[in-house]
Structure 1
Amino acid sequence: MPDLAAIVIHCRDPYLLAPFWSAVTGMPVAEADRVKLAEGTLAPAEAVLLRDPHGRRPDLWISPADTLPAPGRIHLDLVGDAEERAAVLEAGATVVRELPRWTVLADPEGNEFCLLPPNEAHTASPPGH
């Protein structure tokens, strides 16, 4: 089977979403992209790379797009405890709905993602949850 190399999040504003997803995942923005974000010098269609410094997780690209499909461009399932949930909310996420086994959140552009408690991490969830 092929390995998962990267996840791409299409967005309107990489200056908004790259720092958000960096904070939420703990994956730093690649140095060259960090400088461009700080200086405001990203090219119009230029994506921002977040990379796990330990190489254990796939790369995460924050990529601007002219048109964005509804209701979202991604759906990630993250695992985190109450402290990590608080940090995700502090980074700018909002609660969309609470479900019995996980919480549906949205990033600053409205992309929904789920936060599962550690004991639900390997429990299969229904499609489209």
Structure 2
Amino acid sequence: MPLAPHHIVIDTHDLPALARFWAAVLRWRILSEREREVVIGPDENAPVGICFMPVTDRKTGKNRLHLDLTTTAEDREDEIARVLALGARRVDVGQRGDESWTVLADPEGNEFCVVRPKRTLIG
């Protein structure tokens, strides 16, 4: 059997708070919560979840890896507003201003993008 993604792991200074933020952003659930890890996902049978692991140091510098999130074109601005209300903030990582994505950061400064929806291919 080939390798397959299991979890995306995010180091966090405030384990429960960041896990709950991302669960709210993605409208996922807390699947397991232990002293040293919290796992979120859409359900227990999902092929991939996000695992939060505690660290003592705070994030410094730009992420080397980030999530790109999308929604429908009609919902995009409302979803950005909802995520900002949950505690995200807009960040500048060198955008020119004509990008098809919006760069945000979670409460601990981890960058992620809300990108335009994929075009449906006809044919």
Which consecutive unaligned segments of at least 5 residues does structure 1 have? 34-41, 121-129
Q: Deviating runs (4+, > 6 A) in structure 1? A: none
Alignment match, 1:95: 90
Secondary structure of 1:114's aligned partner: strand
Alpha-carbon contact 1:47-1:62 (below 8 Å) kept:
yes
Deviation at 1:26, TM superposition (A): 1.4
Alignment match, 1:61: 51
Alignment match, 1:113: 112
Structure 1 residues 64 and 110, CA, compared in 2 at 3 Å: closer, same or farther?
same
Render the CA deviation track for 1:31-72: whole Å, top value 9, x for unaligned.
x52xxxxxxxx53xx110102217445111011113456324
Distance in 2, matches of 1:55 and 1:83, equals 29
- 1:9 to 2:4 alignment: no
Distance in 1, matches of 2:64 and 2:106, equals 11
The root-mean-square deviation of aligned C-alpha atoms, in Å, is 2.3
TM-score between the two structures when normalised by the length of structure 2: 0.75
Q: 5 Å matches for 1:10-49?
A: 10-30=11-31, 32-33=32-33, 43=35, 46-49=36-39
Alignment match, 2:67: 76
Deviation at 1:103, TM superposition (A): 0.8
User: Counterpart of 1:89 in structure 2: which amino acid?
Assistant: L
Write 1 or 2 for the structure with the bigger share of helix. Answer: 1
Alpha-carbon contact 1:10-1:68 (below 8 Å) kept:
no
Distance in 2, matches of 1:114 and 1:54, equals 26
Distance in 1, matches of 2:78 and 2:90, equals 15
Write 1 or 2 for the structure with the bigger share of strand. Answer: 2
